[in-house]
Amino acid sequence: MFLKDNKRRIRKRIRVRKKLSGTSERPRISVYRSAVNMHAQLIDDVKGVTLASASSLSKEILDEIKGSKGKVSKSKLVGKLLAKKALELGISTAVFDRSGYEFHGRVKAVADGAREGGIKV
């Protein structure tokens, strides 16, 4: 069952990526959702470079994550950290790539955290 679901997600991911592309002025926020952790990256697709990244394993927010309850609140903190790093780079807008996941729950929480952090998604 898991293999079938993952293949479906990868097909959706390819379909979404055909339409999305990030630039240095407006990079792509790519998310990855594992069973326990959440990862997000700011990617410039023109140069093929990752500009910034954040994870629920990042040392900057480790204390806040230990104090938070639930995966959704942890994901929101990841979005806020990514927004903080983006603002330091002078990036204020981004394109959100949900990577084939539903825009619900933890994936939505990353986008909401980035918006609260000051990025227009």
Domain boundaries, the chain: 2-117
- pLDDT for 27: 94
Q: What percent of the chain has pLDDT over 70?
A: 98
User: Does pLDDT of 92 surpass 60?
Assistant: yes
Greater confidence (4 vs 51) lies with: 51
At 74, the amino acid letter reads K
Greater confidence (24 vs 64) lies with: 64
Greater confidence (9 vs 41) lies with: 41
pTM of the model: 0.89
- Sheet of 28-33, strands arranged across: 49-55, 38-44, 28-33, 95-97
What is the pLDDT confidence band of residue 25, given thresholds at 50, 70 and 90? Answer: confident
Record: fold of 2-117? Nucleotidyltransferase; domain 5 (3.30.420)
Relative to beta strand 28-33, strand 49-55 is unpaired
At 41, the amino acid letter reads Q
